[in-house]
Structure 1
Amino acid sequence: MQIEVNRQLPVPLARQIYQAVVDRIQSNLLEEGTRLPSVRILSKQIGVSLMTVVQAYNELEQDGFIERIQGKGTFVQKNKQGGTTDRQESPYDWQLSVPDYLPRAQFSRYYQLSARFEFFSSTIDPGLLPNRYLEKEIQRILSQEPRILSTYGDVQGDPVLRTELAGYLRESKISTTSDEILVTNGTQQGIDLVARTFVGPGDIVFTEAPTYPAAIDVFRWRGATILPVPVDEHGMRVDMLAALCEKYKPKLIYTMPTFQNPTGTVMSAQRRRQLLDIAYETQCLVLEDDPWSEIHFGKQPPPSLKSMDSLGHVIYLKGLSKILAPGCRVGVLAASGTVFHRLVAAKGNTDLGSPMLTQKAVLPLLHSDRMRNHVKKLRIALQLRRDLMIDLLSVHMPKDVNWLIPQGGVNLWLALPVQIDTEDFLGYARNYQITFLPGAACYPIESKHHFLRLSFSYLNEKEIEEGIKELGKATQSFIKATAAYRKAPIV
């Protein structure tokens, strides 16, 4: 088990060890029943004192993540309500001796959970997407260009598509050209390319807290030290970011300024300018992730950071497939100077270029009346679903549950009573055929466990109505069960 600690961080070493083990458990990288290294062995591996590991193990045991059995060792335990699970020996147990470098992979495991009411999925209901149009386009492309499946495309992306994408971004006042556009397999690949190219062990990466869990997974995998910056109703607290930059020099600032995931907040124009000033002063990169700026329910959000950047600090990501066809996995990366050229090289090392068929399929939609009409209808449909979900939550959820009302995007961020751990609640809610994203997955360190994210974009109105009613029942029941458990006498 490879655990890296950073003595320069304000986080105690014992807490860093605790978080590293919890990340692996919650990512299913350490399965229930897995035997952990002894205190003595782990202290030697990490290079810390015996008492530091003892303190970390004590906290893990207290929080129900591990159990220590006299004479046998220390084992992973996911059942926080107590009790042990006998684990049968497996012919694959030898694999535990093979070290890996995956410190965390939480987000992907939630995709494996299926339920009737999937509030986890922040993707668009397929019924709202131009599926028939894309189907006809793909058939037309295959009939006119049958060799498209048997040839590689340009590493940077289809030149015609890049030209259209540059024009599409210019409509948002992002001054760019086709030579500064890189087509990616979704924004997730864009995040990964930036991390592979510019982030290494020990580098400081600032993220919002909470933030997109899959980005945390990528930065952790690269060995980065992630420092969280709180989010309020106006986005990232750039005053706290500035204070942190006085102590720690960042390599990268990762932000979703427009309809932030998971909170749905919008960074004010003033804070955007302040963030850029910080980037210029510290000479760091800014990774701007912008998946939902088209989906606004009132006035348009402030201009993107990329549109305000004149010195090439901002790397801009947009996932077009989110609002057109998630299965196409077409993302856009825009950057300038040698930063861009290095990212193109990284893309070539990764996959030699994105599939041409899907690039050609989305091409006719860009800059067309069909695209504008589609986005307009999508805004209306999603706003109706947001309003419906908020009305239903007001009726069916306990009074001490609160939420933010987003002015765009696809997610609601809920706060349950502080004694509730939404990771535990997720297991309970699945009995009601419900999934959601537990808030703890959205924090790189010092997780807040009583938050959860609900997405209103994937289910239709009838499913939202039925699902929120069930969620209300599950929440009320779980809060009562938790209170009863806490009051039960210790025997």
Structure 2
Amino acid sequence: MHIYIQRNNGISITRQIVLAVIDQILSGFLQEGEKLPSVRVLSKQLNVSLLTVVKAYRELEQQNFLYSVQGSGTFVRKKNNDIETACIEEPLTQDWQLSVPDYLPRSQLAQFHHVPQKIHLASSMVDPELLPNRHLKTAFEHLIQEDGTFLSRYGHTQGDQQLRLAMQQYLSGLGVYTQIENLLVTNGSQQGIDLIARTFVGPGDVVILEAPTYPGAIDIFRNRGVTILTVPLDQEGMRLDILQQLFDKHHPKLIYTIPNFHNPTGVLMSHKRRRKLLEMAQNTQTLIIEDDPWGEIYYDQHPPAPIKSMDEYGHVIYLKGLSKILAPGCRIGVLSASGSIFKRVLAAKANADLGTPLVTQKILLPFLEPSIVESHMQNLRTTLKIRRDLALEILSERCPKEVSWMVPQGGLNLWLSLPEWVQSHLVLAEANKKGISFLPGSSCFSVEHENHHIRLSFSFVSQELLREGITTLCEILAGIILSRKNSHSSPYF
């Protein structure tokens, strides 16, 4: 169990241990009934006092995340709060593994990216029925018939030249004008974030994230041991007044932002704020990672031009993923940067995997023809807008008045805010019993521990299942809130 202690970030060591353990429990790294390192072992690993770890474990017990058994140790509490039979019935024959240190602070996506439930509202993925599966199959068969030798060749580390040329033309349609020499094909945007992080940041560096933000980015930056500072959002995106205060006190090396239909909130950053953010980065010699997973999926009006479109001096590294909106199985993304920044990221890509598989790059080529890809995007926008509107309609009709939400102008998610006393991971346990999954909001916070939010992805399931899932979730929330009104002994606060 790895916990990276930052001794000068203003958060007490006890609190850092508490937050790290909660992160690992909620992300599934620590399973129900799993035994934790002893107080003595953990204090030695972290080079902190026994008392500090004792206080952290005690606080975690008070918050119902852990429990202790005299003579046996400390364990992750089961969701049904049953500690009588937890873990002890089965011999712990692999306890020795606790002595092997790891360097994984958390991985929220490890638990929520799969699809175990009947009604899957957890992951921002598009319904496979809306993707060009038949055409992809035809493209693959045609590719093999035309040139089967690509299966016995390595692709270029930077990416297939034809694909980069097609992506250059595609990005120009979004307002990002670049040369193919400045494009790098990645295994999805997630790898792009990872390559940038492993190239430019490490222990002691300051990275600024939005709060909340994409959980996969938090996982990556936590793994680098950086000091994470966060900036909340309003209706126009990242609060630049608060960002300026952080600039005045710290020297951040990197800012990660999702300007288009932000994940998880759905907020769209205004053009004015994009320009101001770029100016701040230029004045402080700070890098910006602009992540754009679904800027094409807008429901009301086209979003402003990307920050990268205004970037004259190479401060912005732009990431465009194709996985979610075209072919998840191909795991293709592209990174656009310039100068020595690009060269160093390219070197990191070579060290990571020597290049993205050639077969997946070749398969996507036919679909990047302007007429074909735009037709596909238009169909997605039409269908997903119907599902968004359906989800909003059900929430308006059935959700308790104590719950609020934002109306996204694009993207795949709805962000719900519950009463502060409601713990979303306990709501999730009740939803799972009904075959429903969602992403607890706590996964989207890197420093704060806000556990009263829910991210619902309306894009993966059919309209019928979407209606059933949100209706049932509203009933669960109504029951929890009613129990609070009737009794002050509710397990949800």
Q: TM-score, normalised by structure 1?
A: 0.95
Change (3 A) 1:380 1:436: same
* Superposed CA offset, 1:429-461 (max 9, x none): 011111000000000122211100111111121
Does structure 1 retain, via aligned residues, the 8 Å contact 2:332–2:361?
A: yes
* Superposed CA offset, 1:118-153 (max 9, x none): 111211111211221111111100100111111111
Measured in 1, the distance between the counterparts of 2:92 and 2:40 equals 26
What residue number does 2:17 align with? 17
Q: Could you tell me how far 1:369 is from its partner in structure 2?
A: 1.2
Indicate yes or no: 2:434 matched with 1:432. Answer: yes
What residue number does 1:2 align with? 2
Change (3 A) 1:146 1:86: closer
Measured in 2, the distance between the counterparts of 1:2 and 1:360 equals 40
Counterpart code for 2:324: K
Measured in 2, the distance between the counterparts of 1:383 and 1:488 equals 37
Q: Could you tell me how far 1:475 is from its partner in structure 2?
A: 2.0
Q: Could you tell me how far 1:367 is from its partner in structure 2?
A: 3.4
Change (3 A) 1:65 1:255: same
Name which of 168, 182, 185 aligns with 1:183: 185
Measured in 2, the distance between the counterparts of 1:43 and 1:432 equals 41
* Superposed CA offset, 1:87-138 (max 9, x none): 3223322211111111101222112451111111211111211221111111
Q: Could you tell me how far 1:50 is from its partner in structure 2?
A: 4.3
Unaligned runs of 5+ residues in structure 2 are: none
What residue number does 1:198 align with? 200
What residue number does 2:31 align with? 31
Measured in 2, the distance between the counterparts of 1:434 and 1:101 equals 32
Does structure 1 retain, via aligned residues, the 8 Å contact 2:323–2:329?
A: yes
Counterpart code for 1:387: D
What residue number does 2:175 align with? 173
Does structure 1 retain, via aligned residues, the 8 Å contact 2:421–2:452?
A: yes
Does structure 2 retain, via aligned residues, the 8 Å contact 1:428–1:478?
A: no
Identity %, equivalent residues? 50
Q: Secondary structure at the match of 1:406?
A: coil
Change (3 A) 1:114 1:37: closer
Name which of 284, 287, 306 aligns with 1:285: 287
Measured in 2, the distance between the counterparts of 1:392 and 1:34 equals 39
Measured in 2, the distance between the counterparts of 1:56 and 1:151 equals 53
* Superposed CA offset, 1:241-297 (max 9, x none): 111122221121111011000000011122212211221222121111001110111
What residue number does 1:67 align with? 67
Name which of 295, 314, 317 aligns with 2:316: 314
Change (3 A) 1:376 1:195: same
Measured in 2, the distance between the counterparts of 1:362 and 1:44 equals 51
Does structure 2 retain, via aligned residues, the 8 Å contact 1:65–1:80?
A: no
Measured in 2, the distance between the counterparts of 1:444 and 1:396 equals 31
* Superposed CA offset, 1:370-414 (max 9, x none): 211111121111111111110011112112111100001110001
Measured in 1, the distance between the counterparts of 2:319 and 2:23 equals 26
* Superposed CA offset, 1:57-102 (max 9, x none): 2321211112234444433324374644243223322211111111
Does structure 1 retain, via aligned residues, the 8 Å contact 2:19–2:449?
A: no
Name which of 119, 122, 146 aligns with 1:120: 122
What residue number does 2:278 align with? 276
Q: Could you tell me how far 1:3 is from its partner in structure 2?
A: 2.3
Unaligned runs of 5+ residues in structure 1 are: none
Measured in 1, the distance between the counterparts of 2:114 and 2:302 equals 35
Q: Secondary structure at the match of 2:393?
A: helix
What residue number does 1:458 align with? 460
Does structure 1 retain, via aligned residues, the 8 Å contact 2:6–2:227?
A: yes
Q: Secondary structure at the match of 1:452?
A: strand
Change (3 A) 1:350 1:422: same
Change (3 A) 1:164 1:112: closer
Which range moves more in the overlay, 272-281 or 179-188?
272-281
Q: Could you tell me how far 1:11 is from its partner in structure 2?
A: 1.9
Q: Secondary structure at the match of 1:479?
A: helix
Measured in 2, the distance between the counterparts of 1:136 and 1:2 equals 46
Does structure 1 retain, via aligned residues, the 8 Å contact 2:28–2:110?
A: no
Counterpart code for 1:183: V
Measured in 1, the distance between the counterparts of 2:419 and 2:190 equals 32
Does structure 2 retain, via aligned residues, the 8 Å contact 1:32–1:76?
A: yes
What residue number does 2:383 align with? 381
Task: Give 1:327-342 correspondences, 5 Å limit.
Answer: 327-342=329-344
Name which of 48, 72, 94 aligns with 2:96: 94
Measured in 2, the distance between the counterparts of 1:70 and 1:130 equals 57
Does structure 2 retain, via aligned residues, the 8 Å contact 1:63–1:80?
A: no
Q: Could you tell me how far 1:175 is from its partner in structure 2?
A: 2.0
Q: Could you tell me how far 1:52 is from its partner in structure 2?
A: 3.3
- Matched residue pairs, number? 489
Q: Could you tell me how far 1:478 is from its partner in structure 2?
A: 3.3
What residue number does 1:347 align with? 349
Measured in 1, the distance between the counterparts of 2:49 and 2:41 equals 11
Name which of 366, 369, 374 aligns with 2:368: 366
Measured in 2, the distance between the counterparts of 1:470 and 1:364 equals 41
Change (3 A) 1:488 1:250: closer
* Superposed CA offset, 1:310-333 (max 9, x none): 111111101113211111111011
Which range moves more in the overlay, 444-453 or 39-48?
39-48
Change (3 A) 1:485 1:77: farther
Task: Give 1:241-252 correspondences, 5 Å limit.
Answer: 241-252=243-254
Measured in 1, the distance between the counterparts of 2:35 and 2:471 equals 41
